[in-house]
Amino acid sequence: MEKKTTARVEAEQALRDSERLLQTLIDTIDGEIFVKDKNGIYLYVNRAFGKVFNVDPAEVIGKDDYFVFSPQTAAMLQANDQRIMAEKEVVNIEESTVLNGEPITYLTNKAPLFDDDGSVIGICGVGIDITPQKALEKALQDAHDRQGQTVRERTAQLAETVVQLREAEHRYRTVADFAFNWEYWANLDGSLEYVSPSCERISGYSPGEFAERRSLTKDIILPEDQNIWQTHFEASRRQPGTYEIQFRIRCRDGSVCWIEHVCQPVHDDQGAMIGIRASNRDITLRKEREIELQKAYAQITELKNQLEADRSYLLEEIKLSHDHEHIIADSDLMKYVLFRTEQIAPTDTTVLILGETGTGKELIARTIHNHSTRKSRPLIKVDCAALPANLIESELFGHEKGAFTSAAEKRVGRFELADGATLFLDEIGELPLELQSKLLRVLQDGEFERVGSSRTRRTNVRIIAATNRNLEDDIRQNKFRMDLWYRLSVFTITMPPLRERGRDLLLLANHMTRQFARKHGKPIASIAAETIAKLKAHRWPGNIRELENVIERAVLYTRGAKLQLDDAVATLSHLAMDVAEAPLKSLAELEKEHILLALRKTQWQIHGKNGAAALLDINPSTLRGRMRKHAIQKPPIEG
C-alpha cells in the first residue's frame, strides 16, 4: 500500500473532525449513513445503521464490511465502492443482502470523497430500505419516485444541518472573540482548536502563536508554579470535572501576571471526552492586594507578639523595686558621670559601667536607655550573678521545647526579646567563661541560636554591661576573655562610691527619709544633727543600697519629727568595725569554710538524708567536685 501523502492525511483528519461535529444531528436521521476511507474501512456510521444491521456503531469504526455482513455481501459492497470511487461519480445503487434470514434490498446513494487535489480519499452513502417497494413494484410504480424524493429530502436535511452547525460555531466564535477573559478550546493531544483574542491582552502572545506552538501555554508558567500546572493537567484528564487553580505566568514584556484558570471537559453525545474548554482570568491586581494584606497581617502578628513579650517582661519588672525615679546628685564626680551619660545615650555604642556594689549602676543604665532612640521599648535586664550557670544560656538565648529535661515549652531569650531595644547585662563579670564566646558572637555579628536549635537568628540589640569586678585582673587569671573586654569597653562609665560623694550623702538621706516616712506613715520632717554626723562618719561599704537599709530602719525606730538612728547606731558601728578591722574574704574562701562546716557537722558523711550534700542542698557529685576544687580531704582517724 502506498504511503499517504501529508495532504491526504490532513484531509482524512479533517473528514473525521467534520464527521464528529455533525454526528449529533446526523444520528437523528432515519436513513443508514456511513463514511469509509478508500480501503473500505468505516470511519463513521450513524445510529440507524447500527440498529438496522444489529451492530454497535462504536465497534464498527475501524472495521470493514466483512465485520458487518456475510462474506458474499461484503465482497459485493466493496466491489461496488471501488467502482464508484474509480468512476468518481455519485451513484444511486440497489444492493441486496440477507438479514435475519430474510432478503432485503437497499437503495443507497453513494458518493466519492475528494481531497483538495482532487484525489479520492473515501466514500460516503445514505441507504434506504426499499424491500417493501420492490415487492409492490408493479402495483406501485410511483413508489420509486417517492422514495427517490425522500432520499433527496433527507440529503437536503443533512445539508441544512451542516449549515446550522457552521452558523452555531460562528456565533460561538463571535461571542468568545469579545470575551474579556482568555478563552481556549484544547484537544486531548494538547493542540488548540480555538484561542480568544484576549490572550494577547493578558500575556502579550497572539492567538496564532498559541495555535502554532502547543507548548507555549505551559512554557510561560513560572518554574515555581510548574508543579501546580502539571498536577492539574494530569488530574483534568484522569478524572474529568471542573477544576480551578491559580498560577503565575511570565508575559512577553517580562512582567509577571497572576492567572485564575478554570477548565471543564467537553463530551460527545456518547459520553466520550473530546477536548477541554478553559478560561484564564487576569487576577494580578487582586492577588497583589491579597499578598500585601498577608504581609500586613504578618507584621501585625509580629508586633502583637513583641507587645506581648514586652508586656510579660514589664509585668516582671513591676515586681522589682526601683526606689529612685531620679538621680539625686550634686557632687562634681556625679556631674561628670551624668555628662558622660548624656554624651553616649543618643548613640548605639556599647557601654560598660564600672563601680562597687550598690553605687547605682543600673540607674545609670536606665538613664542611658531612657535618653536613647530605643526608649519606646523597655530596657531588658539580665542579672548574670543571680542565675545558675546551667540556666544563664537559656535565659540569654532562649531554648526550644525539649532542649533539656525541664524545657517543657519553648522560651524566648533576652536577646530575642530585646530586638530593637537595650539589653542590660548586670554583673557581667560573673558570666561563665564558656558563654563569653557566644556573647562575643552576638556583639560582633548580631547572631545566635536558641538552645536545642540549629537555626541562626539575628537581633539588633544595644548592650549596656555593668560589673563590680576588676575585669583586667580576671583577664590575667583567664577568668574573662580579653576580646570580649575590648568589645564591652568601647565606652566606660565609672560610678564613684558613696564615701567619695560627701555633697550627695545628705541629699540622698533627706530624699530617702521622706520616701520611707510616707511609706510607713511616719511624721518625720528632718534629720537630727547627731544623725547627720554619724552618717558622714561611716565609710558605706554597701554604698547607696546600704544607705537605703540604714535609713529605712531608722525611720521605723524613730518616734518623733526628726530622724534618729537609735539601734541603727550599733549596726553602723559594727559595720564600720568589720570594714576597718576584718578584711573581706573571697567567695572561694567562704565556700570552702561553709563546706568544711557542713562536713564536720555530718561527721564527713556526703550521701544520704543526713549527709552534707543534703544539708547544703546540692547533688553529692557536685559536692565532691567542690571538695576537689578546694583540696578538701577527710582527716585521718586518730588511733
Give residue 578's pLDDT: 46
pLDDT at 467 exceeding the cut of 90: yes
Q: How far apart are CA 538 and CA 542, in angstroms?
A: 11
Q: What are phi and psi of 266, to 5 degrees?
A: -115, 130
Is 497 a residue whose pLDDT tops 70? yes
Mean pLDDT for the stretch of residues 455-460: 88
CA dist 257 and 568 (Å) reads: 82
Strand 526-527 vs strand 562-563: parallel, antiparallel, or unpaired? parallel
Amino acid at 3: K
pTM, two decimal places: 0.46
Handedness of CA 263, 264, 268, 272 (dihedral sign): positive
Encode 246-255: b = buried (16+ Cβ within 10 Å), e = exposed: ebbbbeeeee
Segment 302-336, tens digit of pLDDT: 666 666 655 555 544 443 334 334 688 888 888 89
d(CA 172, CA 126): 30
Is 67 in contact with 50 (CB distance < 8 Å)? no
Q: Could you write out the DSSP letters of every residue in 87-104?
A: HT--EEEEEEEEETTEEE
Show me where the domains of the chain are located. Answer: 6-166, 179-282, 321-494, 498-581, 587-629
pLDDT > 90: what percent of the chain? Answer: 17
**Quick check: 549 and 540 in contact, CB under 8 A?**
no
Question: CATH for 6-166?
Answer: 3.30.450.20
Would you say the C-alpha torsion 535, 538, 543, 548 has a positive or negative sign? negative
pLDDT band at 15 (very low <50, low <70, confident <90, very high): low
Domain 498-581: which topology?
Helicase, Ruva Protein; domain 3 (1.10.8)
Please check whether residue 276 is in contact with residue 185, taking contact to mean a CB–CB distance below 8 angstroms.
yes
CA distance 169 to 216: 25
The answer to whether 219 and 229 have CB atoms below 8 angstroms apart is: no
- Residue that has been written with the C-alpha cell 402495483 in this structure: 139
In CATH, the architecture of 179-282 is 2-Layer Sandwich (3.30)
Q: CB neighbours of 423 closer than 8 A, spacing ≥ 6? A: 380, 381, 382, 414, 415, 461, 462, 463, 464
> Considering the chain, what is the average pLDDT of its residues?
80
Least confident of 197-201, 585-589, 635-639: 635-639
Domain covering 321-494 assigned CATH 1.10.10.10 in the classification = no
pLDDT tens for 222-244 read 999 999 888 888 887 777 677 78
Topology alike, domains 321-494 and 498-581:
no
Task: Report residue 7's pLDDT band, with 50, 70 and 90 as the boundaries.
Answer: low
| d(C-alpha 83, C-alpha 566), whole Å | 142
> What's the Cα-to-Cα distance from 188 to each of 77, 183, 277, 570, rounded to whole Å?
35, 16, 11, 104
Among 316-320, 369-373, 416-420, 514-518, which stretch is predicted with the lowest mean pLDDT? 316-320
Helix (H, G, I), strand (E, B) or coil at 556: helix
Question: What does the alpha-carbon distance between residue 594 and residue 630 come to, in Å, rounded to a whole number?
Answer: 11
Residue 196 CA to residue 181 CA, distance in Å, equals 8
Residue with cell 477536548: 275
Would you say residue 422 has pLDDT above 90?
Answer: yes
Poorest-pLDDT segment among 209-223, 243-257, 489-503, 590-604: 590-604
